[in-house]
Amino acid sequence: MNKVAVIGAGSMGRQIAVHCAIKGLKASLYDMSGEVLSKAQQFSDEYLESRVQKNRLTREESDRARSRLEISSSVEECVSGATVVIEAIIEDFSLKAELFGKLGALCPPPTILASNSSNIVSSRLARVTQGPERVINLHFFNPVLAMDLVEVALHPEVSPEVEHAALKFCREIGRTSVVVRKEVPGFIVNRIFRALTREAMNLLEGGYASAEDIDLAVTRGLGHPMGPFYLMDVAGVDVSYLARLDEYQETGNEASKPNQILEQLYREGRWGKKVGHGFYEYPDADSGGKA
Ligand SMILES: NC(=O)c1ccc[n+]([C@@H]2O[C@H](COP(=O)([O-])OP(=O)(O)OC[C@H]3O[C@@H](n4cnc5c(N)ncnc54)[C@H](O)[C@@H]3O)[C@@H](O)[C@H]2O)c1
């Protein structure tokens, strides 16, 4: 494994690329926005410097990681010579499908073409890609630089060689992987998270307890590090709402329908910590920034 290409340099893509560079891979990063790419470069420089200041990396290791990270000015340049391509663009199926069509033509097999989507299963993208057996989900968690898990989600056409190579890639970048053998939107973690948040919102809507007390019960009674309402605020109320809506529209399953309170917060722009209001108020939040 020598080069990973990451398309989309937003909050996830930039972290995936920096992490891979720290772990010894050549990493190239592309985004359609030049401004986002400049911010990603700045993020990388500041993060690597902070690791040196905290004695987590030596100056030499940090310099080597910096030299392995390349900012690309086109998709073509970014994916050239890559053995793994990870798509981390916005959660919009038609944009992702268009990109996978292009990647299929640009990248010869056995290059792995992976999506970091939180919800869109890879068979939907494999349908529009040359060589569907190499299209998979590699689902990282935010913040990528701290969260150990990667969900490797397969569809029936994925070849055993691609599965093997994907798991090897996760080991190379020092991440624990779990295999989702049968496709399901939301994979494992987000499905369990959604079940938990759905019940938490049912209790709140039914007037059984306050958001504060439900969060307290889940942290103290179940030992979770954060309660469901605070966690939705941190991850983004918009992200939770849109993922639930997409699943509901795909399956027609009434249980997937977003709770009324979630829809209301979404429509009012109360998208969580990043905007200063969600289930809770965050008076000190940098309004409009990322959580
Ligand atoms: N944010 C999270 O907590 C999280 C966690 C796991 C997975 N994901 C998934 O990761 C993906 C990215 O999420 P994010 O939070 O980093 O989004 P983001 O909005 O921060 O970044 C997306 C980037 O994609 C770029 N982009 C859009 N279309 C493009 C194209 N055609 N070519 C190149 N660049 C393009 C945008 O300019 C933007 O910079 C989504 O599919 C999301 O579901 C997000």
Tokens 């920096």 map to which residue? 18
Residue 256: per-residue pLDDT: 85
Q: Is 277 among the residues known to form the active site?
A: no
The residue to mutate among 19, 90, 140, 191, having the most atoms of ligand 1 within 8 angstroms of its beta carbon, is 90
Matching CATH number, 189-275, of 3.40.50.970, 1.10.1040.10, 3.30.160.270, 3.90.1150.10? 1.10.1040.10
285 pLDDT tier (thresholds 50, 70, 90): low
Distance 220 CA to ligand 1 centre (A): 34
Distance 203 CA to ligand 1 centre (A): 32
226 neighbors 280 (Cβ within 8 angstroms): no
Query: Which of 203, 219, 221 has its CA nearest to residue 211?
Result: 203
- pLDDT over 60 (residue 62): yes
* Beta carbon of 242 within 6 Å of any ligand 1 atom: no
Each residue of 16-52: pLDDT tens digit?
Answer: 999 999 999 999 999 999 999 999 999 999 999 999 9
246 pLDDT tier (thresholds 50, 70, 90): confident
Mean pLDDT, the chain, whole residue set: 94
Average pLDDT over residues 67-83: 97
290 pLDDT tier (thresholds 50, 70, 90): very low
Average pLDDT over residues 107-123: 94
206 neighbors 259 (Cβ within 8 angstroms): no
Residues of the chain with CATH 3.40.50.720: 3-180
The residue to mutate among 6, 7, 12, 74, having the most atoms of ligand 1 within 8 angstroms of its beta carbon, is 12
The beta strand positions in the chain, using DSSP E, are 3-7, 26-30, 69-71, 84-87, 112-115, 135-140, 149-153, 176-180
Each residue of 147-198: pLDDT tens digit?
Answer: 999 999 999 999 999 999 999 999 999 999 999 999 988 899 999 999 999 9
- pLDDT over 70 (residue 85): yes
What tokens does 21 get? 């560079």
Domain formed by 3-180, architecture = 3-Layer(aba) Sandwich (3.40)
- Kindly compute the dihedral angle of the four CA atoms of residues 164, 160, 142, 4, in this order, to the nearest 10 degrees: 60
* Beta carbon of 116 within 6 Å of any ligand 1 atom: yes
- Closest ligand 1 atom, CA of 14? 16
Tokens 């990396």 map to which residue? 57
1 pLDDT tier (thresholds 50, 70, 90): low
What is the DSSP pairing of strand 135-140 with strand 112-115? Answer: parallel
Between CA 240 and CA 259 the distance in angstroms is 10
Q: Is 87 among the residues known to form the active site?
A: no
Residues of the chain with CATH 1.10.1040.10: 189-275
Say what the pTM is: 0.89
Catalytic residue (one of 44, 62, 117, 139): 139
* Beta carbon of 101 within 6 Å of any ligand 1 atom: no
286 pLDDT tier (thresholds 50, 70, 90): low
Name the residue with the closest Cα to ligand 1, atom 27.
89
Q: Is 67 among the residues known to form the active site?
A: no
Between CA 58 and CA 7 the distance in angstroms is 28
